[in-house]
Amino acid sequence: MDEQKKGTRRRGEILEEAIMNATLDELDQTGYAHLTMEKVADRASTNKAVLYRRWSNKSELVIAALHKFIPKIKREVPDTGNLRDDMYVYLQALIEPLKKVGAQTIRGLMIEPTVWRNLAAAIAQIPSGKWENKLTAAMMAIMKNAEKRGEVCLERLSPRIISLPVDLLQYELITKQEISDTAVAEIVDEIFMPLIRYSQTADK
């Protein structure tokens, strides 16, 4: 729709807010597969040329909208009093924003070539040898709390074991494009905690 003809020309943040809201509405009502730049423009009462000046394709537009409105992943480290519950609460906090995005949208984004190219470029810029990032730092904080309580001895745990729950969560997302509460419980109770218990008793 031509804003100039309607006399409702908008600029800057006001226009962007309308476009972002229209994008989320389209995702909710039609899904990622059927979302088009034209439909978003029509819903936002603008024209698609306005969108293409800011975003080169629908995946960039959707990612921008999700980044603006979807709650950010919480970085707080839980301290429930035991390792099992700390790990479960932390993993649940990680997947909560993904539930709001929805499996269909995640699946659609992950098959977009531009998304994979951007992801590969971002990975290439990560300095080699830097094992610790925000997620692994949080995992280490959880494990240090557990060590203070006498639940684990960190010297008996490799970085790979400590990062395992997050690694499995990422694998679940890549292969299934969604992460269920059941999957989180299985990662914690059937894989991570038994491995922790084994690592603390092996070779004693």
Q: Where are the domains of the chain?
A: 3-69, 83-201
Average pLDDT over residues 127-141: 70
Task: Identify the CATH class of 3-69.
Answer: mainly alpha
Q: Could you give the CA distance from residue 7 to residue 105 in angstroms, rounded to a whole number?
A: 34
Q: Model pTM?
A: 0.69
**Position of tokens 């226009």?**
15
Q: By the 8 A CB rule, do 40 and 1 touch? A: no
Q: Long-range contact list for 187-194, CB < 8 A, 24+ apart?
A: 187/91, 188/84, 188/87, 188/88, 188/91, 189/84, 191/164, 191/165, 192/87, 192/164, 192/165, 193/83, 193/84, 193/87
Residue 66 has pLDDT above 90, yes or no: no
pLDDT tens digit sequence for 77-103: 999 999 999 999 999 998 888 777 777
pLDDT of residue 116: 64
